[in-house]
Structure 1
């Protein structure tokens, strides 16, 4: 006779399911609505990282999902706490990141009575989540959690929201733990391999585009080997620079904001575009302008873990339903039967990329190109680099190399405030790795308070704050459209170095190029979280772009 399962509260059952699913860290802000779960965490092996804002906590969970490939987990309370986390759900939704958000809710008997902090869970989160459910019965917690983790990880990954009524978590039940559900990888059929080989044999100007999620070290290695065997030029989608070692001889750069004009021309000239893990979306194609819509563009190979991306604009000649690792395993031994026609062009594309990523002196008192070249030379190959949204990220995208084992954590949905929480999560997940976050002054102060979390948890990321006293991206657009009419883009900033020191982090300010090297060494060797404020020369907005240069261009239009 099978022994009965022990009686457990709903809160204990919930935390036990996290253990079963391999969760070792959760991020959150406490709330009275899920006290029973917090109590169960007290004696659990699961680490609770207590954050200062739900947006920061959810960003940390999203970054954890990007870094590990497994769902990041965040806990928030109801109402304002839950809606503060919505920004990270949008990021996870657009970036295809596995994430599970647990939200404490009002007691079941208070529902639909406009109770304190009550919210419509599906109405609030349904547009940004793959699945939204409320667990009304403690006995069904294992079922709901197993489904949540599977949905978050399957197909095109994304966020899942589970509501936890306060009184449900205090109910007692006898129920078995769930077994994690398998995540299908798809496959490449023999016929699809033949079709792919035929398309390559017919091509003269092929280009590979890598992007999306569900990439593993094995997938990266196999796809790189395949591309090198065929001398295929490899570009990456926006903020996907860690999908291939940037030192690979076939890597030719990144598309999206801050990309090289030469690479855009390469896309226009392609007669075969092989997209692995991503579709040719608006950011990669300059608002759909790089590829024609009338069927005269390149033949498209689409490799995705789901049937089709949303809003398909360019129909594929070949569609393969497979995650990157399954695709890589299938093409690992696929080799050309004769020398390829585009090998010389691939070398030319590579040379153009190397020229683009080499900084040129800009004459500024603080030369940011030289700063990032020095940083790149100092970082180990497995460094994790994080940043949010804004022109400040262009230096990190253009002048830092993402080598074998290195990672780039950045929001593809253009979400400000992401870089600092992501750096904290990365430093906690991999305390032995160097983690660097590049932040603009506007982006930093959207979640700079999470420095307190870093110090409290012993995380030691290095943060570079580019201080140009402006929302630089919008200022650039403003100067291009309404030159000289500055409105709504100027910032009044604190002393960022003093701000960092107030939290117990190392902090200092750099105003000249010569000061950066010594400051970098002090920050890297201080043994705790560190911040270097970079006083950007007045008027500098991006590499090769100043307010003066934009106004001069406008004067000649």
Structure 2
């Protein structure tokens, strides 16, 4: 590292040494020097967003797709306040992120009064982020290392607020030592033999066992071990939403556990007397507020099990262990006993699961609109299975969560905070991370309109992305809730925006879909050209997602 450089160049070199090769930014006077310096380093791609929220959202998508720390940058004050929802999304989703935020000068002689100044720390902490504020030149580089270390080890966003007068101060420093040199290389946690024996006894006595795999199982490579254990134990399989698709080729897979559970899963879980989760935090989403498997004895196998999650007891038995290590140990111990009754793994039950997995409720579909379930099935058959699917958030998200035989590594869903409007920025981050043109965003119209300006970013940056808008002309969840209560829903209806025309206005391609059978020719045409494209898919506003219907029937919102 060179000597006698301005702080912003030293900071940029430190980020580069941390392995940063993509920076998502909206420049202002407090971060512009650092942004330019980083962009000039080898291999770094700089993506200039049109909104600070979206810069953070892009970093979230990049981090989610790569497993690395995503990096975003904004200026101080109003630039920073725009990032609150994105930071909360990263915090709830346990996504490692470093946000470089410029800050007011630390030396009062440099700015006796600054109209954009405000305390970053209380806001960062309020949304679940960590905050670091180096207030001396000697703390600049150690603060970078600390930010990356915390982001990786605690899997959370870190806000690095750097006064811009320190960024300009020249300093002679020793070579930077990146955080990777300090990351502990810990072996997977083996399961305690006593805990394994307890689980084996529970499996042997259970009549309707179900195993759920979460992200911890995916990260540890436990899918095959869990499959083999389920086969031996006569258990059914399921996953959390972020892990959806992990067992799709297994005839005894129920799909998603939680609010997005299909009819087959709800039927099976209602009769479960044992649920064993591997690498899943058992959030309120996974248990559907405690209603999904009300009669089951629940065992949580996780490297960091939590007794209390989302305000309720997570499980009845907790086992601190790596998912793969535990599944293999349970499998080995269970071999000592005769093969259990395999009543759940019969041809008849596989057929029942297959038949009940499809939502067959009937709805009235208006002319020139399509049933969202049918169009998603059509898209699922057209889009290659190895393409990246980015899931938007909102009422329509249930429908595309049911796409089949797509690996969780290729299906990107960040829904822990429940915020709409993140889809387009996360999709841009995924596209930059993957470096190819095989990324599809499926989002709702209300969500996409919140940050439609990023279509300009897509065009300017030369990103190729297919955006499928499920357009019902309204905030879907709200109209269904209002209707169920007999309240006029017109305030939640804003009309069907012409997304095809909007896309063309931004210099992209656009197409209209209002009947089934149109998507195949459009997709064939899309892959032959180089521009991003928006499909304005006119869906019925009468089709209600099963979770929404369940909530409405219970009088819940």
Three-state SS of the structure 1 residue aligned to 2:517 is: helix
Q: Answer yes or no: is the 8 Å Cα contact 1:386–1:410 preserved in 2.
A: no
Among 284, 287, 300, the alignment partner of 1:285 is: 287
Would the alpha carbon gap of residues 255 and 316 (structure 1) be closer, same or farther in structure 2, given more than 3 Å must change?
closer
The separation in 2 between residues aligned to 1:254 and 1:311, in whole angstroms, is: 19
Would the alpha carbon gap of residues 469 and 29 (structure 1) be closer, same or farther in structure 2, given more than 3 Å must change?
same
Q: Answer yes or no: is the 8 Å Cα contact 2:308–2:314 preserved in 1.
A: no
Matched with 1:503 is 506
The separation in 2 between residues aligned to 1:334 and 1:405, in whole angstroms, is: 31
Count of matched residue pairs:
542
Among 48, 51, 67, the alignment partner of 1:50 is: 48
Mind listing any 5+ residue stretches in structure 1 that lack a counterpart? none
Q: Answer yes or no: is the 8 Å Cα contact 2:25–2:46 preserved in 1.
A: yes
Would the alpha carbon gap of residues 194 and 298 (structure 1) be closer, same or farther in structure 2, given more than 3 Å must change?
closer
Matched with 2:452 is 448
Deviations 1:157-184 (A, max 9, x none): 2211111110111122313212323155
Matched with 1:420 is 424
Matched with 1:24 is 21
Is 1:438 the counterpart of 2:451? The answer is: no
The separation in 2 between residues aligned to 1:454 and 1:422, in whole angstroms, is: 12
Three-state SS of the structure 1 residue aligned to 2:318 is: strand
Is 1:534 the counterpart of 2:531? The answer is: no
Would the alpha carbon gap of residues 194 and 147 (structure 1) be closer, same or farther in structure 2, given more than 3 Å must change?
farther
Which residues in structure 2 correspond to 1:161-240 (within 5 Å)? 161-171=159-169, 172-179=171-178, 180=180, 181-183=182-184, 184=186, 186-191=188-193, 192-212=195-215, 215-216=218-219, 218-240=221-243
Matched with 1:370 is 374
Which residues in structure 2 correspond to 1:314-329 (within 5 Å)? 314=313, 316-322=315-321, 324=323
Q: Which range moves more in the overlay, 452-461 or 184-193?
A: 184-193
Q: Answer yes or no: is the 8 Å Cα contact 2:283–2:309 preserved in 1.
A: no
Deviation at 1:17, TM superposition (A): 2.2
Would the alpha carbon gap of residues 8 and 336 (structure 1) be closer, same or farther in structure 2, given more than 3 Å must change?
farther
Would the alpha carbon gap of residues 257 and 219 (structure 1) be closer, same or farther in structure 2, given more than 3 Å must change?
same
Deviation at 1:359, TM superposition (A): 6.4
Among 160, 169, 181, the alignment partner of 2:158 is: 160
Q: Give me the TM-score of the superposition, normalised by structure 1.
A: 0.87
The separation in 1 between residues aligned to 2:354 and 2:378, in whole angstroms, is: 17
Among 260, 268, 271, the alignment partner of 1:269 is: 271
The separation in 1 between residues aligned to 2:225 and 2:313, in whole angstroms, is: 26
The separation in 2 between residues aligned to 1:411 and 1:317, in whole angstroms, is: 26
Three-state SS of the structure 1 residue aligned to 2:254 is: strand
The separation in 2 between residues aligned to 1:379 and 1:317, in whole angstroms, is: 42
Deviations 1:290-309 (A, max 9, x none): 455xxx74142241436656
Which residues in structure 2 correspond to 1:88-167 (within 5 Å)? 88-110=86-108, 115-155=114-154, 157-167=155-165
Q: Answer yes or no: is the 8 Å Cα contact 1:79–1:117 preserved in 2.
A: yes
Deviation at 1:215, TM superposition (A): 3.9
Deviations 1:331-361 (A, max 9, x none): 6866644323355257666544433444658
Matched with 2:38 is 41
Which residues in structure 2 correspond to 1:453-492 (within 5 Å)? 453-483=457-487, 485-492=488-495
The separation in 2 between residues aligned to 1:237 and 1:177, in whole angstroms, is: 40
Q: Answer yes or no: is the 8 Å Cα contact 1:304–1:321 preserved in 2.
A: yes
Would the alpha carbon gap of residues 470 and 415 (structure 1) be closer, same or farther in structure 2, given more than 3 Å must change?
same
Would the alpha carbon gap of residues 131 and 327 (structure 1) be closer, same or farther in structure 2, given more than 3 Å must change?
farther
Deviation at 1:390, TM superposition (A): 1.3
Would the alpha carbon gap of residues 417 and 203 (structure 1) be closer, same or farther in structure 2, given more than 3 Å must change?
same
Three-state SS of the structure 2 residue aligned to 1:526 is: coil
Q: Answer yes or no: is the 8 Å Cα contact 2:218–2:243 preserved in 1.
A: no
Among 516, 519, 535, the alignment partner of 2:519 is: 516
Deviations 1:265-286 (A, max 9, x none): 4334323222223233222223
Q: Answer yes or no: is the 8 Å Cα contact 2:380–2:404 preserved in 1.
A: yes
The separation in 2 between residues aligned to 1:136 and 1:109, in whole angstroms, is: 9
Three-state SS of the structure 2 residue aligned to 1:532 is: strand
Would the alpha carbon gap of residues 37 and 392 (structure 1) be closer, same or farther in structure 2, given more than 3 Å must change?
same
Which residues in structure 2 correspond to 1:52-71 (within 5 Å)? 52-71=50-69
Q: Answer yes or no: is the 8 Å Cα contact 1:390–1:443 preserved in 2.
A: yes
The separation in 2 between residues aligned to 1:105 and 1:25, in whole angstroms, is: 22
Is 1:246 the counterpart of 2:248? The answer is: yes
Deviation at 1:188, TM superposition (A): 1.8
Mind listing any 5+ residue stretches in structure 2 that lack a counterpart? none
Deviation at 1:450, TM superposition (A): 1.4
Q: Which range moves more in the overlay, 422-431 or 250-259?
A: 250-259
Three-state SS of the structure 2 residue aligned to 1:207 is: strand
The separation in 1 between residues aligned to 2:371 and 2:133, in whole angstroms, is: 53
Deviation at 1:441, TM superposition (A): 1.0
Q: Give me the TM-score of the superposition, normalised by structure 2.
A: 0.87
Q: Answer yes or no: is the 8 Å Cα contact 2:243–2:408 preserved in 1.
A: no
Q: Answer yes or no: is the 8 Å Cα contact 2:199–2:330 preserved in 1.
A: no
Deviation at 1:33, TM superposition (A): 0.2
Q: Answer yes or no: is the 8 Å Cα contact 1:431–1:459 preserved in 2.
A: no
The separation in 2 between residues aligned to 1:186 and 1:274, in whole angstroms, is: 19
Deviation at 1:477, TM superposition (A): 0.9
The separation in 2 between residues aligned to 1:135 and 1:310, in whole angstroms, is: 34
Would the alpha carbon gap of residues 64 and 248 (structure 1) be closer, same or farther in structure 2, given more than 3 Å must change?
farther
Three-state SS of the structure 2 residue aligned to 1:540 is: coil
Deviations 1:186-211 (A, max 9, x none): 51244244444344334332222233
Q: Answer yes or no: is the 8 Å Cα contact 1:379–1:434 preserved in 2.
A: no
Matched with 1:11 is 8
Which residues in structure 2 correspond to 1:357-396 (within 5 Å)? 357-358=357-358, 364=365, 365=367, 366-396=370-400
Deviations 1:86-142 (A, max 9, x none): 111111111111111111111112599762211211211102234211022333333
Would the alpha carbon gap of residues 17 and 545 (structure 1) be closer, same or farther in structure 2, given more than 3 Å must change?
closer
Matched with 2:355 is 355
Is 1:340 the counterpart of 2:340? The answer is: yes
Q: Answer yes or no: is the 8 Å Cα contact 2:305–2:320 preserved in 1.
A: yes
